Structure formats: structure tokens, C-alpha cells
């Protein structure tokens, strides 16, 4: 009798472990990185955390414009920066949110005909809205408009 029980226990153990395990659900991210390209020659990055259905975070944007511009006889190029906060809410696969922050317009001038040119840097408010569609729990496609980027498109990745 003892000789039969041991092989049966081993056989039951092997059969129990050989069945496929159920699929593991995709890990839900709590932090997200968003990269945004704007229509005003800008690029942004922001880092967000998710608390239940709310997303909050901070972002930084850069405008590098190689075009030479002129205002009131002063020749300049722009090199603007923006720092802003983001807040959003998720309904199912959709996210709607807002941006608010500060933009610094930096004017790069030089010397023309021996005259040192100068334009004062200007601080402005950044305000905007965005919407996104989750392609998965860890990827989202965004479309938005704000005063720094103008019309912009972005992608969000869960970290």
C-alpha cells in the first residue's frame, strides 16, 4: 500500500504543476513620462503621478527657434523656456487635463553696425488643455493646445 501512495502523490504533484498558469494582468503604472512636440517649434517633457483617477505632475518646455526675427529695428532669435504644472482626470480610457505655469521669452540679440542691440526678456503665463486616449495601461496618445506650444501632440509612457 505504501508503494502505491508515494507514486500517486508524485503523479498528482506533477499534474498539478504542469497546467498553464492564468495570464498575469498588465501592471498598472503609477508614474508617467510625457513627451510633447508643439506646433510653435517646441518640445516638452513632464512627469506625472497617478492617484486613483487623478494625474498630477510638473513639466518643462523649450523653444529653440533658429529663425532671425526683427522688431523695431532690433534683430533677434528666440530661446524660450516654460515650466508648468499639469492635472488631469481619467474616465475609462480617456484623460482630460489642464496645464498652468510660467513661460520666459528669452531674446538673443547681438551687435549690428557697432550698436549693441537689446530686448528685455518677457515672462508670460502658460495656460492650456489636453486630452488623451489610453492605448494600453502603459501608453497614451495626447492632443492639446496651450499658450506655449500652441497645437501639440504627445505620447505618454508608464514607468
Task: Give the residue among 107, 99, 98 at the shortest CA–CA distance from 77.
Answer: 107
Average pLDDT over residues 140-147: 96
pTM: 0.76
Supply 81's cell numbers.
Answer: 523656456
pLDDT digits (tens, 9 = 90+) for 47-63: 999 998 999 999 999 99
Position 38 scores a pLDDT of 93
Would the pLDDT of 145 be above 90? yes
Whether the predicted pLDDT of 127 surpasses 70? yes
Helix (H, G, I), strand (E, B) or coil at 4: helix
Q: What is the pLDDT of residue 81?
A: 95
Q: Cα–Cα distance between 118 and 108 in angstroms, integer?
A: 8
Phi-psi region of 16 (alpha: psi -120 to 50; beta: other; left: phi over 0): alpha
pLDDT tens, 6-34? 565 555 565 555 556 666 665 667 899 99
pLDDT of residue 14: 54
For residue 112, what pLDDT is reported?
A: 73
Triad 57, 134, 33: Cα angle to 5°: 30
Nearest-angstrom CA–CA distance, 82 and 141:
22
pLDDT at 25: 64
Tell me: the pLDDT tens digits for 93-118? 999 999 999 999 988 887 777 777 88
pLDDT band for position 131 (50/70/90)? very high
Domain ranges of the chain: 29-158
CATH tag, 29-158? 2.40.160.20
Amino acid at each position: 500500500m505504501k508503494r502505491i501512495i508515494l507514486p500517486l502523490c508524485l503523479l498528482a504533484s506533477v499534474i498539478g504543476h504542469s497546467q498553464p498558469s492564468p495570464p498575469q494582468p498588465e501592471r498598472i503604472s503609477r508614474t508617467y513620462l510625457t513627451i510633447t512636440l508643439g506646433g510653435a517649434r517646441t518640445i516638452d517633457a513632464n512627469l506625472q503621478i497617478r492617484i486613483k483617477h487623478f494625474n498630477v505632475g510638473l513639466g518643462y518646455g523649450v523653444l529653440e527657434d533658429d529663425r532671425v526675427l526683427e522688431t523695431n529695428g532690433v534683430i533677434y532669435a528666440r530661446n524660450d523656456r516654460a515650466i508648468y504644472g499639469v492635472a488631469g482626470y481619467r474616465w475609462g480610457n480617456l484623460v482630460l487635463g489642464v496645464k498652468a505655469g510660467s513661460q520666459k521669452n528669452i531674446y538673443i540679440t547681438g551687435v549690428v553696425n557697432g550698436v549693441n542691440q537689446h530686448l528685455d526678456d518677457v515672462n508670460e503665463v502658460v495656460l492650456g488643455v489636453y486630452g488623451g486616449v489610453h492605448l494600453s495601461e502603459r501608453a497614451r496618445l495626447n492632443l492639446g493646445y496651450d499658450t506655449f506650444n500652441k497645437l501639440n501632440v504627445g505620447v505618454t509612457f508608464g514607468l
